[in-house]
Structure formats: C-alpha cells, structure tokens
C-alpha cells in the first residue's frame, strides 16, 4: 500500500510552494497544529482553514488538535470525560469535514500527541488521572467519528519515557498508532546506522510501535519526520526510514520542512545528497489524481493575535512551541523554565 507523504512547512499558505516546487509534485497533505495560545479559540481549527493559513494551500490537512487548553487542568479533562465538551468537539469536526467536501479520503486527527513527553501538559494530566484522560480521549474521538466515518484518530507516543500502553484509549476509538522520528545526533550519535538502531530498539521505540500496532490491527503513522540539514549522512537515514515504512503498515508520513525548533529544511537543496534522497522518495509514490479541495475563501474568522509572520514569534512559531523541547526526547533529562 502506498504511503501518503505529506509535509509540515509552517502555518502560512505561501510556505508550501517552495517545497512542492523542489520535489516537482504536490504533497499528499499538510500538517497543521492548533492550540499554541492556550485558549479555546486557538484550539478551534477555524483559523487554520482561512485562506491565509493552511486552508489556502488547497491540500488536505492532517490535524494536531488538543482536546482542550492546558489551563483547565485535570478538572477540564474530567469534564471532557463526562461529555461536557462534546458540543464544541462536534463543531470542530464539522468544520474539518466541510474543508474536505471535495474528496472522499480519510481525515487524520491527532490529539494529545507525543504522549509521555513531560513538555506537554496532557502527559501530566494522564499521570494524575489516567482514567479521566482516557475517557476524555474517547469522548473526543467519538465526537469526530459521530460526524463522519472518514475521521481517523491517531494515538501518538514518545519513546524512552516508560510504559504508555495503560493510557491507550481503546481499539474502538483509535485507528492509527503514531510516533515522531527525528535524528538528533547529539543524543543518538552521528553514525547513521547506530543512530537508526537507537530509534528502533529504545524502550517504546519504532520496533515496539510496530508490534503494538500489529497486535491491535492498526496502521502506523510517522506524523513528524526530520533529518538534520548538515553534513551528516541524512540520505542514508532517509533510506532507512523509507525501508522501515515499506516493510511495516505505515499509512502516512509528514516531513518536517522547517527550521522551527528542528532544522529539517531541505527545499534549498542543501545538503544535496540528503535533499535529493527525500525528493526521490516523494516521487516514487503514485501520483494522486484526486482533485484538490479549493482554497477556503477568507472569512470573518479572527485568528489568534498575530505577530511577525516570518519569525519564530509569529504564527509560524506554532511548531516551535509544540516542539520546544523535542531535542530532549532521547535524554531523559528536561529542564522546565
């Protein structure tokens, strides 16, 4: 089964063309985040659907949407577990579905991603009250599935943070098992095969993900994948990732084409060998002839307060917030400011 290759480029529609021009084809999807501002309005996908943001790309969106703002704490998750946020979640699902009215493909939604990572508030909530967390996840997933069977819910964890399976919300609400994969040479080493072996064999790493997904009859996703844009053998790492995807039931992968928090930028063709290897992978996939949904026209929706677009202080800093400590995934040591 072909892997649907997408990309994260930031939050602005005009950030996608440079990457598509580089690979010479359109991507399968764009990865979108909501929720950085910590309020309900920013969690709501409406602002991302505006033509200025990723709704203007004309590409399907793969969503990363928090269940609720962190500031509501464990009580907010308990309320969600009791169904008190369902009306809001159903509204979000209708908005996401309307954006995809011109195609019939699956709509992937990831929530509480990188579960186990202490840099996200939901991990603390899950530790504090795992039953409330799981039931809240279940309510969220069922709301989206109630709106359309096209919604596919992704359960996404990090490696090297101990057991997470007790937080699994159940086969009836999860469709895909996910894990982000980045090559961090400062933690995994600069030799490509050793670095890759670490990703495979570390506790709750890729090998475990594949086994867990197989046991539950689920597909696998790599919602974020990045290699460093430097003189390391990124081309070989991409080949290893591609081979693993081809021999496991991976349904989609999104490349981190950005310098936000992790420098995976490759559309500048530097380094050449790494960039060209990524390009070959994208071009080896079957061409999608499904008409792309038209860009969403500008609406009266007011997006969250906007700062400088082309800096990490603006909306493009969404990813920097979401991955602000991504480089410590393998260390076991985190300093919280």
pLDDT tens profile 77-111:
999 999 999 999 999 999 999 999 999 999 999 99
Q: For residues 28 and 276, is the Cβ–Cβ distance under 8 A?
A: no
pLDDT of residue 312: 32
C-alpha span between 139 and 20 (Å, rounded): 37
185 contacts: CB under 8 Å, gap ≥ 6: 195, 228, 232
- Candidates 198, 219, 227, 266; CA nearest to 23 is 266
C-alpha span between 222 and 176 (Å, rounded): 10
Residue 209 burial by Cβ neighbours in a 10 Å radius (0-12, 13-18, 19+):
buried
pLDDT of residue 306: 37
- Candidates 36, 57, 63; CA nearest to 150 is 63
First to last CA, the chain: 44
154 contacts: CB under 8 Å, gap ≥ 6: 108, 109, 110, 111, 113, 174, 175, 176, 177, 178, 221, 223
C-alpha span between 148 and 94 (Å, rounded): 9
C-alpha span between 312 and 306 (Å, rounded): 12
Helix (H, G, I), strand (E, B) or coil at 40: helix
pLDDT of residue 315: 35
- φ/ψ region of 92 (left if φ > 0, alpha if ψ in -120 to 50, else beta) reads alpha
List strand residue ranges (DSSP E) for 29-166, in order: 30-33, 61-64, 107-110, 151-156
Name the stretches of the chain with pLDDT < 70.
Answer: 287-337
pLDDT of residue 287: 61
C-alpha span between 285 and 58 (Å, rounded): 19
Taking every pair of C-alpha atoms in the chain, what is the biggest distance, in angstroms?
53
Token representation of residue 113:
């991603």
Start-end of H helices in 44-129: 73-81, 86-99, 121-128
The H-or-E segment that residue 225 falls in is strand 219-226
C-alpha span between 304 and 36 (Å, rounded): 10
**Total-model pTM:** 0.87
Cα dihedral 327/69/153/197 (nearest 10): 10
Kindly report, residue by residue over 152-202, the tens digit of the pLDDT: 999 999 999 999 999 999 999 999 999 999 999 999 999 999 999 999 999
Token representation of residue 152:
């596919």
CATH 3.20.20.80 fits 4-328, yes or no: yes
pLDDT of residue 120: 96
């Amino acid at each position: 089964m072909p892997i649907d290759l997408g990309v994260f480029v930031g939050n602005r529609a005009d950030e996608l063309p440079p990457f598509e021009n580089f690979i010479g084809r359109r991507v399968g999807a764009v990865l979108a985040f909501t929720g950085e501002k910590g309020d309900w309005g920013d969690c709501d996908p409406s602002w991302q659907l505006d033509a200025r943001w990723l709704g203007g790309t004309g590409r399907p969106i793969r969503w990363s949407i928090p269940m609720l703002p962190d500031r509501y704490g464990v009580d907010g998750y308990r309320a969600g577990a009791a169904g008190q946020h369902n009306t809001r979640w159903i509204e979000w699902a209708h908005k996401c579905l309307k954006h995809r009215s011109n195609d019939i493909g699956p709509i992937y939604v990831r929530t509480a991603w990188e579960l186990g990572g202490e840099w996200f508030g939901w991990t603390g909530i899950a530790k504090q009250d795992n039953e409330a967390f799981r039931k809240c996840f279940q309510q969220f997933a069922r709301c989206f599935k109630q709106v359309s069977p096209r919604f596919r819910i992704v359960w996404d964890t990090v490696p090297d943070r101990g057991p997470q399976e007790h937080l699994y919300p159940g086969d009836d609400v999860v469709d895909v098992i996910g894990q982000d994969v980045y090559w961090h040479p400062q933690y995994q080493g600069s030799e490509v095969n050793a670095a890759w072996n670490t990703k495979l064999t570390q506790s709750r790493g890729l090998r475990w993900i594949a086994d867990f997904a197989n046991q539950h009859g689920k597909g696998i996703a790599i919602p974020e994948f990045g290699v460093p844009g430097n003189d390391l053998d990124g081309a070989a790492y991409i080949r290893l990732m591609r081979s693993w995807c081809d021999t496991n039931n991976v349904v989609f992968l999104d490349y981190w084409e950005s310098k936000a928090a992790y420098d995976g930028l490759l559309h500048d063709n530097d380094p050449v060998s790494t960039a060209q290897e990524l390009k070959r992978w994208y071009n080896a996939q079957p061409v999608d002839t499904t008409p792309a949904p038209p860009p969403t026209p500008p609406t009266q929706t007011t997006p969250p307060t906007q700062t400088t677009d082309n800096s990490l202080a603006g909306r493009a800093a969404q990813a920097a917030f979401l991955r602000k400590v991504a480089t410590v995934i393998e260390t076991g040591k985190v300093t919280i400011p």
